[in-house]
Amino acid sequence: MLFQVVPFDAAQHDRSTFNSGSPALDTYLRRQLSQDIKRRVATCFVALTDDGRIAGYYTLAATSVLLDLLPEQVARKLPRYPSVPAILMGRLAVDQTFKGQKLGGALLADALARSANAEIAAYALIVDAKDEDAASFYGHHGFLALPTSSLRLFLPLASIRPLVE
């Protein structure tokens, strides 16, 4: 199936039937997201089916990572600033109807491409996995765990830049 990935629009996109199997991610989409967008603490992109149904979504926000929290071999190659800028993908979810069709991977690739092509510099895309299973999904796509938490992972954007230009 083909999906279109577009910025979330509360007036156009129906969230009422979205069911990822994770109540926290579904409730966030229904109840919290519009407020977060209004307050400029997150942006959201949705994958739509032909008939306008939300099949998946992810959120992005600016963040930073303390250099001391990165693996030593990575931090060594960065300037000696206390922290480096990054983009946080706080949430990613696919509706259960569409799971296993590579949509999660496609949304991740979309987030990486937007982050790597953004006009404002960011060293890495950071993801917060909700559990070890989600962390393994990110690991499968090349993300590395931060030494402090197996549920917070990162991927340097310079490494994928040639792929998305």
Ligand X SMILES: CC(C)(COP(=O)(O)OP(=O)(O)OC[C@H]1O[C@@H](n2cnc3c(N)ncnc32)[C@H](O)[C@@H]1OP(=O)(O)O)[C@@H](O)C(=O)NCCC(=O)NCCS
Q: Which residues bind ligand X (CB under 6 A)?
A: 20-22, 25, 92-94, 99-105, 129-130, 133-134, 136-137, 140
Least distance from ligand X to the Cβ atom of residue 80, Å: 32
Q: Which is nearer to ligand X, 60 or 134 (CB)?
A: 134
User: What is the number of the residue whose Cβ is closest to ligand X?
Assistant: 104
Least distance from ligand X to the Cβ atom of residue 141, Å: 7
- The CA–CA distances, whole Å, from 133 to 28, 108, 130, 152 equal 20, 16, 8, 13
Q: Which is nearer to ligand X, 103 or 111 (CB)?
A: 103
Q: Which is nearer to ligand X, 102 or 159 (CB)?
A: 102
CB burial of residue 83 (10 Å; 0-12, 13-18, 19+): middle
Amino acid identity, position 87 = I
Tell how far CA 22 is from the center of its chain.
Answer: 16
The 3-state DSSP class for residue 101 equals: coil
